[in-house]
Amino acid sequence: MTTNNIRYFYHAETGIELIFCKNSTISYPLHNHVSVLTIGIILDGSIVLTTNTETRTYKQDETFAIFPYEPHSILAHDSYSLLTLCIDKNAVNSADVITIQKRIGLLLIQALNIGNINQYQILQLLNCPDKTLDSSNWRLKNHTPYIHDLKKQLELYPECKLSVEEMAQNVFLSKYHFIRSFKAEVGLTPHQFQIQNRIRKAQRLIHEADTITEVALTTGFCDQSHFIKQFEKYVGLPPLIYKSSSAIISHNTSIPSEAFMSFNDLKEI
């Protein structure tokens, strides 16, 4: 039986998040990653990644890159295993390619020592920043001023009770013209972008809050059931399972080997 085993590790000092998926069958709807460069490698199986420019099937040992704000979706026809690195734009802006590769390498070596990724796959991932960071595609695009201001508001305060109608009225546009303009520049509708950022904020708050209800209300959801449904849609896991599957690691902390016990049967070259 497929188990959808996912582990999240956020390295606070470097702003890099590692995500290990094993035997996952989760497909992800259209979304984007705010201010984050994402690179990944397929460890086993395959996924279908759709962006604005192409739809492509990625198979074992193939790498991919998703740039900040790039709308994309992932379709799983069968189970897959992959490792994904999410690199915050501030980490990119404050360091050169070699430094970023070293930061990534230190985290990946821990996974190598535990036996969840082989040397060839590490080299493939380390080559990704060299190919992508020099590209203009990852750098944040300039938006129309009113789109830029609203986008930042929805990123920082997604919990605000602001309807699409109110957003349109605030910039003196009809609702439908506003939706078309926003989607043309951001890649998502205003409502999709708002919900996605509420879930992103919930992912940060879930480790501090006492209850799921508290997280739901703090991030702008009217009831817990709607929050859980949207969280699972965008993250792939229910909130409580996500909480138990994620951890924050510091500079002097290694990723615990028991966290990867379920990955030990991944194929090696």
Residue 83 sits in a domain whose CATH number is 2.60.120.10
User: What's the chain's length in residues?
Assistant: 269
Residue 252, domain member (yes or no): no
What's the pLDDT tens digit per position in 214-264?
Answer: 999 999 999 999 999 999 999 989 999 999 888 766 655 555 544 444 434
Q: What is the pTM of this model?
A: 0.79
Closest CA to 107 of 134, 129, 136, 133: 129
Task: Decide if pLDDT at 61 tops 60.
Answer: yes
Task: Decide if pLDDT at 126 tops 70.
Answer: yes
Where a domain ends, among 118, 138, 158? Answer: 138
- Do residues 45 and 154 share a domain? no
Position with higher pLDDT, 101 vs 112: 101
What band does 68 get if pLDDT is binned at 50, 70 and 90? confident
Q: Is residue 176 classed exposed, middle or buried when 0-12, 13-18 and 19+ CB atoms within 10 A define those classes?
A: exposed
Residue 254, domain member (yes or no): no
- Do residues 124 and 84 share a domain? yes
- Do residues 153 and 133 share a domain? no
Tokens at 153, concatenated? 């508001």
- Do residues 24 and 133 share a domain? yes
Would you state the pLDDT for residue 265? 42
- Do residues 220 and 118 share a domain? no
Residue 30, domain member (yes or no): yes
Residues 6+ apart with CB under 8 A from 37: 65, 66, 67, 68, 86, 87, 89, 92, 132, 133, 138
Give the integer Cα–Cα distance in Å for 86 and 33: 9
Would you state the pLDDT for residue 267? 37
- Do residues 9 and 123 share a domain? yes
- Do residues 212 and 93 share a domain? no
- Domain that includes residue 213, residue range: 145-247
Residue 106, domain member (yes or no): yes
- Do residues 26 and 112 share a domain? yes
Give the integer Cα–Cα distance in Å for 27 and 257: 27
Dihedrals phi, psi of 88, to nearest 5 degrees: -65, 140
What's the pLDDT tens digit per position in 86-102?
Answer: 888 766 666 677 777 77
Task: Decide if pLDDT at 165 tops 60.
Answer: yes
Position with higher pLDDT, 127 vs 151: 151
Domain count, the chain: 2
